[in-house]
Amino acid sequence: MHTRTLGQGLEVSAIGLGCMGISSNYGPTAGTRGDMITLLRHAVERGVTMFDTAEAYGPYVNEELVGEALKPLRAEVQIATKFGWQIENGKSVGLNSRPEQIRNVAESSLRRLKTETIDLFYQHRVDPNVPIEEVAGTVGMLIQEGKVRHFGLSEASISTVRRAHDVFPVTALQSEYSLWTRDPEAQVLTTLAELGIGFVAFSPLGRGYLTGTVNSKTRFAEGDIRATIPRFSEENRAANQTLIDQIARLAHEKGASPGQIALAWLLAQHPWIVPIPGTRHISRLQENSDATRVPLSADELAELDTLAQRMGVHGDRYDDALASYVDRS
């Protein structure tokens, strides 16, 4: 797999691995802990070097799993994790990005990840009660101390990104971006290009919808976050099916899968965009990593753009509770 460079010279695989789903938010896992460790190590064999986790996933168990799996391969990979939630009794109960909290999370994450340095440390969600300048300054000190290599933000507004970047250089902004979530295109991508900041796209496969494996008849397991997301209501899944049908048609013509078409479209947008699809299955991991080999012509890209814009997308990407944590300053 070829590599891409985010801000501040951080070089990573063109497609990373979002690790959240291997232990949380998508219902019970079918495999064992050993199966997930095998999956993570197989990803490295496939050329994946960027692994994305967070203390809030589980909480804690995802970092522990990633740390155990990647410890023997630590020199070959970059590990990104996140701070910013107040976790009590095993649940995220609000935001907390106070400087002392950031330091505590860094120390705890280092232990769970079995490493001496976090490659990319994101603020998971912007805390309106803590000036972003304090957050950037604190992470900057952690970088000076060698505990962190790079500073990132997640779901942050352009105003917040600029303010943070003025204090300490931001390496990457992470937000949702895909054929059916085009929000970053209005202002975010232009600003990142101006500032030299990379973009990490989570849910690049639309939480599975763009792979064609989810339709209006799908029933989500208990604990699957999609059951709470308006875009995944039965009515909205049916309304969005035309987009999936067209992606599937193009995939068939090119001898690819719908998911590969969705990832190839994203890779074609800018050379500093890195998608991080998640999966629990080695076959899907292989499919996703091979998306770098699926070329899309200018006409095919334009066709997908036109179709997505004409069809629109039915349903919000978050429910009201989750939407309240997205920075709109």
Determine what percent of the chain is predicted with pLDDT higher than 70: 100
Model confidence at 27, pLDDT cuts 50, 70, 90, reads confident
Rounded distance, CA 161 to CA 152, Å? 9
Section 198-218 average pLDDT:
96
pLDDT at position 31 over 90: no
Determine what percent of the chain is predicted with pLDDT higher than 90: 94
* CA–CA–CA angle 29, 242, 240 (5° rounding): 55
Model confidence at 280, pLDDT cuts 50, 70, 90, reads very high
In which element (H, E) is residue 149 found?
A: strand 148-154
Give the residue ranges of DSSP H helices in 71-131. 99-113
pLDDT at position 30 over 70: no
Which string of b and e fits 74-110 if b means at least 16 CB within 10 Å? Answer: eeebbbbbbbbbebeeeebeebbbbeebbbebbeebb
Predicted pLDDT of residue 28? 80
User: Choosing from 26, 57, 122, 325, which is the catalytic residue?
Assistant: 57
Q: Tell the burial category of 9 from Cβ atoms under 10 Å away from its Cβ (0-12, 13-18, 19+).
A: exposed
Section 273-292 average pLDDT:
97
Q: Are 232 and 209 in contact (CB under 8 A)?
A: yes
- Whether 325 is catalytic is no
The per-residue pLDDT for range 242-278, each reduced to its tens digit, is 999 999 999 999 999 999 999 999 999 999 999 999 9
pLDDT at position 29 over 80: no
Q: Are 37 and 22 in contact (CB under 8 A)?
A: no
Section 300-323 average pLDDT:
92
| Number of residues that this document lists for the chain | 329
CATH number of 3-205+269-294: 3.20.20.100
Model confidence at 310, pLDDT cuts 50, 70, 90, reads confident
Output the CA–CA distances (angstroms, integers) from residue 244 to 27, 35, 125, 185, 322, in the order listed: 23, 30, 30, 21, 25
The per-residue pLDDT for range 155-197, each reduced to its tens digit, is 999 999 999 999 999 999 999 999 999 999 999 999 999 999 9
Rounded distance, CA 76 to CA 72, Å? 9
Query: How do strand 50-52 and strand 78-83 relate by DSSP bridges?
Result: parallel
Q: Tokens standing for 36? A: 């997930």
